[in-house]
Homo-oligomer: A and B are copies of this chain.
Amino acid sequence: MLQKKNAVLVDGVVLNGPIMDSKAGEKFVEEACKIIMEEVIQKAEDVTEKVCEWRAPETLKMILDLEMRDTGESHQKLLQLCQDVIQYSVKTSHPRFFNQLYAGIDYYSLAARFITEALNPSVYTYEVSPVFLLVEEAVIKKMIEFIGWEEGDGIFNPGGSVSNMYAMNLARYKFCPEIKEKGLSGLPRLVLFTSEECHYSMKKAASFLGIGTENVYFIKTDERGKMIPEELEKQVQRARKEGSAPFLVCATAGTTVLGAFDPLDKIANICEKHGLWLHVDASWGGSALISKKHCKLLHGIHRADSVAWNPHKMLMAGIQCCALLVKDNSGLLKKCYSAQAAYLFQQDKFYDVNYDTGDKSIQCSRRPDAFKFWLMWKALGTTGLEERVNRALALARYLVEEIKKREGFQLLLEPEYANVCFWYIPPSLRKMEEGPEFWQKLHQL
């Protein structure tokens, strides 16, 4: 009654009335958390549960009430919806969820993600994200140590594909800074090199950046999926003869399908000789750097100019957690990406504006993805992360030995990482010769 009496009415809105019932809102969040704990987190380890209650699109549309209406639904209905969403979604933390690149649950990174969702920050200047900027700086510094650089720079961003784009643009900026203002029109054809087994984001990046997919020269790989350095050398020379402008080699550390590692040291020699930027897409394989036993897979990575590394894959930091790391520490990232928006990045602040990262990014709002990795690292220690990597590779090794023992299974090649590629050959094909008919039937299967 009191409120009605003193109501401030503007444009038909009572300004000093309650916006929403915050107690009811808090209760809703609590009940949703209870469902999450019971249905997702506690069942994460339960093999008797299904990975996913799979339904075809048309059926699932009928089950879920997707329509958004004029009036809102009751909390009871909404909580039921949350239950349904969980039931019909893939449980990526389930022991039987197998993805090429991630699986399982990490409790610490999950808690960290709950914190950042609740705080809902945006990471661009120190004044709005003091903790998360310092944490990002600390994590990047530590990742750089594992790469083996003495110093460097970096930025967390939404995905390995985006990291690769960042690197491609950075290499191009280093090659010819005027492109930032003038664009590519009128310039010779820029050419970059990567292996046949590289991630498809290389093509996406080349087309997005205006370089063109035809100017990605795919280098032949050996029988294990590794880039052949001699072929790279040939292609660089071919590009030069054509009058185009080679500027970048993208090596892969951990290819998507075979898990192959390109020979970085030999590739670095060629890059040095020809003055090319060396980017290593270690989105998948970078985590091996944490393991004393397996870091040799990336031998030579300290010679790279930039590295993409996704702790959300093998290290389980939660999607997305992806860093682009850069060896240059003279501000190249900022020079390349700055737009110097006066309303955000004033230079006369009362703290060192070098902490502001906004001008290193292609984004404006940016999520604090380094934080979940940091809390997990604090919780497990480097030793705990290392065990995670060693365990994944030991499991792959175990699977390989089992495949070799069992009839009807055929290993494609001895893996060097966690990717195990094999065929299942059904009884009807086991006696057949490996001719075209055999392969056609096997592919159909």
Q: How many interface residues does A have (CB within 8 Å)?
A: 156
Closest-CB distance, A71 to chain B (whole angstroms): 4
What are 14 inter-chain pairs, A to B, with CB distance below 8 A? A26-B42, A41-B118, A68-B378, A69-B382, A71-B381, A78-B108, A89-B119, A102-B120, A114-B114, A158-B367, A172-B210, A181-B214, A183-B189, A201-B339
> A26 near B256 (CB under 8 angstroms)?
no
For chain A residues 348-401, which have a beta carbon within 8 Å of chain B? 351-352, 355, 362-367, 371, 374-375, 377-384, 387, 390-391, 393-395, 397-398, 401
List, in ascending order, chain B residues with CB within 8 A of A142's CB.
Answer: 68
- Copies of this chain, whole number: 2
> B319 near A122 (CB under 8 angstroms)?
yes
For chain A residues 274-291, which have a beta carbon within 8 Å of chain B? none
Q: Is A186 an interface residue (CB 8 A)?
A: yes
Q: Is A209 an interface residue (CB 8 A)?
A: yes
Task: Look across to chain B and name the residue whose beta carbon is closest to the beta carbon of A382.
Answer: B70
List, in ascending order, chain B residues with CB within 8 A of A112's CB.
Answer: 82
A72-B378, A117-B114 known; A107+B183 contact, CB < 8 A: no
> A121 near B89 (CB under 8 angstroms)?
yes
Q: How far is it, in angstroms, between the C-alpha of A206 and the C-alpha of B208 when the chains are bound? A: 11
Closest-CB distance, A387 to chain B (whole angstroms): 8
Closest-CB distance, A318 to chain B (whole angstroms): 6
> B61 near A134 (CB under 8 angstroms)?
yes
> A169 near B208 (CB under 8 angstroms)?
yes
> B57 near A126 (CB under 8 angstroms)?
yes
A107-B26, A208-B169 known; A130+B82 contact, CB < 8 A: no
Contact of A89 among B61, B129, B366 (CB under 8 A): B129
Q: Is A413 an interface residue (CB 8 A)?
A: no
Contact of A375 among B81, B183, B207 (CB under 8 A): B81
Q: Is A28 an interface residue (CB 8 A)?
A: yes
Q: How far is it, in angstroms, between the C-alpha of A375 and the C-alpha of B339 when the chains are bound? A: 35
